[in-house]
Amino acid sequence: MRAIILAAGRGKRMGDLTEKYPKAMLNLHGNPLIEWQMQAIRRAGITDTAIVKGYMGDVFSYKVNYFENTRWEQTNMLSTLMCADSWLSQHTCIVSYSDIIYTKEAVQALKNSLGDISITFDPNWLKLWEQRFDDPLSDAEIFKYENNILIDVGGKAKGLDEIQGQYMGLLKFTVDGWQKTKKFLQELSSGITDKMDMTALLKLMLKNNFKITVAAINSPWCEVDNINDYQLCQKIMHKNLFLPS
């Protein structure tokens, strides 16, 4: 099993903080953001990792494998993922956003998931969202599942009853799962896939009868979507929740 970290974007919502570095290289509690992801991945027993770079890609100097999204300015997360097709087509891969922090337990949950396409989610999302937003429903999206199978994801929720958790940005594809996903993507126009984010893809796949398995995560995690998130994540990290036990 291998791991792929999607780190092609700049992170414009971070303002001047990403003028000289991609968001994945922002310092967070003594380490670049992406290093926390690589540590969690290694601690979960995965030794082969690749970074898909783009904006200011030369700053990445880790001794790992690299792919590059040369069209990072015109495309979104999905196009970045497709740059790693050679790995996804040959190996089961954990796929991680580069702006989230999590522990080895989250990676292990995906490793243990039996589905060809699996995602992690936080069933205790509300506590974190209440720290991020005055009104958690202003940002939280629909997330429904039954018997560990995703039923609906993405889109504005009308109430808490539509939210059984929140998608974290951590996925797994088996080779078979990726081949089916790639075939589906090839049937879409490039104009659609260039601008599509991962949540939109998951929602569209559900509409086309894909089976997506979910794995609940009860270990700490956080997302760095903007400067407020960055400051909150710093506070969470100071509690040493992400350090190995």
Residue 244 counted as domain residue: no
Confidence of residue 245 (pLDDT cuts 50, 70, 90): very low
Span between the terminal Cα atoms of the chain, in Å: 24
CB atoms within 10 A of CB 15: 10
Q: For position 242, what pLDDT does the model report? A: 59
Q: Which one, of 116, 127, 111, 128, lies nearest residue 177 by Cα? A: 116
Residue 243 counted as domain residue: no
Q: For position 202, what pLDDT does the model report? A: 97
Q: For position 175, what pLDDT does the model report? A: 98
How many angstroms separate the CA atoms of 165 and 146, rounded? 12
Q: For position 241, what pLDDT does the model report? A: 59
Confidence of residue 243 (pLDDT cuts 50, 70, 90): low
Confidence of residue 161 (pLDDT cuts 50, 70, 90): very high
Range of the domain at 38: 2-238
Residue 232 counted as domain residue: yes
What kind and span of H or E run contains 164?
Answer: none
pLDDT digits (tens, 9 = 90+) for 53-85: 999 999 999 999 999 999 999 999 999 999 999
Count of domains forming the chain: 1
Residue 158: both structure tokens together: 């009308």
- What Cα–Cα distance (Å) separates residue 63 from each residue in 49, 90, 138? 9, 21, 40
Q: Which one, of 62, 81, 94, 65, lies nearest residue 9 by Cα? A: 81
Give the chain's mean pLDDT.
93
Confidence of residue 239 (pLDDT cuts 50, 70, 90): confident
Residue 245 counted as domain residue: no
Please give the model's pTM, rounded to 2 decimal places: 0.94
Residue 45 counted as domain residue: yes
CB atoms within 10 A of CB 240: 9
Residue 218 counted as domain residue: yes
Percent of the chain's residues with pLDDT above 90: 81
Residue 14 counted as domain residue: yes
Q: For position 68, what pLDDT does the model report? A: 98
pLDDT digits (tens, 9 = 90+) for 207-237: 999 999 999 999 999 999 999 999 999 888 8
pLDDT digits (tens, 9 = 90+) for 2-43: 999 999 999 888 888 899 899 999 999 889 999 999 999 999
- Give the residue with greater pLDDT, 243 vs 123: 123
Residue 206 counted as domain residue: yes
Confidence of residue 168 (pLDDT cuts 50, 70, 90): very high
Domain containing residue 203: CATH number: 3.90.550.10
